[in-house]
Amino acid sequence: MHNPSSPYVPSRPLSLLVLGGTRFVGRTLVEAALAGGHRVTLFNRGRTAPALFPDAAGVETVLGDRTADLSALDGRRWDAVVDVAGYEPEVVRRSVAALAGRVGRYVFVSSLSVLADQATVQDESGELLDLDGELAPHQLYGARKAACERIVLDACGERACVVRPGMIVGPYDPTDRFPYWPRRFQRGGRVLLPGAPEDAAQFVDVRDLAGWILGCVERQRAGVYHVTGRTLPFGEFFAACREVVNPAAEPVWVGGELLLRAGVDPWMGVPMWIAGPECAAINRVDVSRALAAGLTYRPLAETIADTLAWDNARGGPAAGTEGLTAEAERRLLDELT
Ligand SMILES: NC(=O)c1ccc[n+]([C@@H]2O[C@H](COP(=O)([O-])OP(=O)(O)OC[C@H]3O[C@@H](n4cnc5c(N)ncnc54)[C@H](OP(=O)(O)O)[C@@H]3O)[C@@H](O)[C@H]2O)c1
C-alpha cells in the first residue's frame, strides 16, 4: 500500500461502493479507504487485477460489466458510490439509474479536459465542451466526460459531487508521463528537458486526490471541484527530480520551437511537455474551491521518490510504452544541441 503519509484522517466509518477500483485512481482510493477503516465494495469485471483485493476484512468485490448489467448490486445500500472510471454517457446513465436511489452521495471522477477553453485560466464556472458541438478528436474524451457530469448532477442534485482532476501522478500511474522523469534522472547523463524553465506544470499526487475525495464524502460535500496541484515552474519540477534522484545528472534544455520544428509531438513526444497558445492555461487551473474544501499536497520530493520506488519495483514500463526511449532522446540531443 502506498498511503503512509496520507493527510486524510477519517472521522467516521463509511460504506463505499467503488465502480472500478483496481488500476490507478480507484486502486489508490480503495487502499486509502481501507486504511481509514471504511468498508468497500468494488464493482468491476475482474479483468484488470483480479487478485488485487481478495475478499477480506473491509473489502468485497462484486463482479459485473457496467456497460451491460449492474443487477449484482441490487438490494444493497452505501453511504456513497464513487464512479472512478465512467467515460461514456450511456454507461454512466445506466449506473446512475441503478444506484442513485441507494447511495447517500454520488461522486463522479471527471477531468479538467471537460473545459472548452484551455487558453485562459478557468474555475468551475468555465464553459464545458458540448458533445453536440464541433469537436476536434482530442476533445471527444472531455466532451463525453462533460455529458457524464451532467447526467450525475441532474439525477443526484445536492447529493452529487463532481471531481475534475488535472494530470494525476504517483504510484500505479498507467501512463509514462510523470514516471518517465524520476527514472530518466536516475539513469543520469545528459537529460533533455523540453521548453523553458519558466513554463508551467501542474499535477496532483493520486494519494492527495484520493484522501480529498474520501474527506468530501465524509463531509457530504456537493458540487463541482477542480482538483489538481499548485502551478509550479517546469524548472522547479526538474530541479526537484535532480535533487531527489541524481544530482549528477546534466540537464539540457531544448526550446519548444526547436522541438516543434523537429516534429516532436507535445504531450508525449517528450513527456509532460505541452505547447501552443490554445493550451496556455492548461497548467494554470484555479483550484481555490478544492483548497477551501480541504485539499492538501504532500511534498513534491515524496511524490518523486515514491513514484520512482514503484517504477523500479515493477521494472519500469513495458517495452513500447515508455514516454521517450533512450535512443530517441539521444537522437534529439544530437540534432538539436
Ligand atoms: N490519469 C490522469 O491523469 C487523469 C486525469 C484526469 C482525470 N482522470 C480520470 O481518472 C480516472 C482514472 O481511472 P482509473 O483507471 O485510474 O480507475 P480505476 O478504478 O483504478 O481502474 C479502472 C477500473 O474500471 C474497471 N472497469 C473497466 N471497464 C469496466 C466495465 N465495463 N465494467 C465494470 N468495471 C469496469 C476496471 O476493472 P476490470 O477491467 O476488471 O473491469 C478497473 O477496476 C478516469 O475517470 C479518468 O478519466 C485521469
DSSP state string for 259-316: HHHTTPPTTTTTTT---SGGGTTTT----HHHHHTT-----HHHHHHHHHHHHHHHTS
73, pLDDT greater than 60: yes
Residue 254: inside a domain, yes or no? Answer: yes
Q: Do both 56 and 138 map to the same domain?
A: yes
The mean pLDDT of 102-112, rounded to a whole number, is 97
267's CB contacts (< 8 A; 6+ apart) are: 177, 273, 274
Query: For 204-259, what is each residue's pLDDT tens digit?
Result: 999 999 999 999 999 999 999 999 999 999 999 999 999 999 999 999 999 999 99
Q: Do both 251 and 122 map to the same domain?
A: no
Residue 306: inside a domain, yes or no? Answer: yes
4, pLDDT greater than 50: no
Rounded to an integer, what is the distance from CA 304 to the centroid of its chain?
A: 15
Residue 49: inside a domain, yes or no? Answer: yes
Q: Do both 157 and 186 map to the same domain?
A: no
Q: Of ligand 1's atoms, which has the minimum distance to the CA of residue 27? A: 20
Q: Do both 216 and 278 map to the same domain?
A: no
The span from the CA of 106 to the CA of 98, in Å, is 12
Share of the chain above pLDDT 90, in %: 92
Q: Do both 20 and 107 map to the same domain?
A: yes
Is 128 close to ligand 1, i.e. is its CB under 6 Å away? no
* Structure confidence at residue 10 as a pLDDT band (50, 70, 90): confident
Q: Which domain covers residue 58, as residue numbers?
A: 15-170+203-227
Residue 288: inside a domain, yes or no? Answer: no
2, pLDDT greater than 50: no
267, pLDDT greater than 90: no
Q: Do both 160 and 252 map to the same domain?
A: no
| Contact criterion met (CB below 8 Å) for 82 and 213 | yes
Q: Do both 74 and 161 map to the same domain?
A: yes
Query: For 18-36, what is each residue's pLDDT tens digit?
Result: 999 999 999 999 999 999 9
Residue 305: inside a domain, yes or no? Answer: yes
Using most ligand atoms within 8 A of CB, pick from 84, 95, 148 the residue to mutate for ligand 1: 84
Q: Do both 114 and 241 map to the same domain?
A: no
If one counts every other C-beta atom within 10 angstroms of the C-beta of residue 37, the result is 12
Is 246 close to ligand 1, i.e. is its CB under 6 Å away? no
Check which CATH number belongs to the domain holding 31 and give it.
3.40.50.720
Is 27 close to ligand 1, i.e. is its CB under 6 Å away? yes
Q: Do both 145 and 240 map to the same domain?
A: no
Q: Do both 321 and 212 map to the same domain?
A: no
pLDDT for position 7 = 64
Q: Do both 248 and 317 map to the same domain?
A: yes
Q: Do both 185 and 107 map to the same domain?
A: no
Residue with cell 524520476: 182
